[in-house]
Amino acid sequence: MLTVNYVDDDDELMRIYDRAGVTGANTSGINAVLFDDDEGVGVCKMVLRDEGILIVSFDVAKDKAEDPSVSDFFFRTILFKLSMSEVNILIAPDDRLEKFGFKKQGDLMVVAARDVVFPSSCGENHQIDN
């Protein structure tokens, strides 16, 4: 079963980063970890800034990333967890993020956490009412 939890143990984070093929990772900041049962298979590093929370990196183990639904689940879960707060979510530009409500703003894409859209495969979009 796939789950997502916050982890602050440097040794555990380095093992997961290694599994995801990331060398020399910096474990500072907020690290959300994707678990497949009890095995860490992905890390999303975030940093709190004055203007919001910046998603710095998003890494999934190659064997898990081959299934796009795993990365999709992980990213949507991160957005869902953040949508319960009053922050702006910032991330490097990527056109695929527009469907979640992100808009280009300077050199980043930004969405207010409360305005995140969760597109479904049936074509309907859903927002969480906070």
Number of domains the chain is built from: 1
Helices (H) and strands (E) in the chain, counts: 3, 9
What's the domain range around 27?
Answer: 2-127
| Domain CATH for 53 | 3.40.630.30
List per-block mean pLDDT (blocks of 10 residues) for the chain, which spans 130 residues. Answer: 95 93 91 95 96 96 91 95 95 95 97 92 57
* Sign for the pseudo-dihedral over CA of 64, 65, 66, 68: positive
pLDDT for position 80 = 95
pLDDT for position 127 = 57
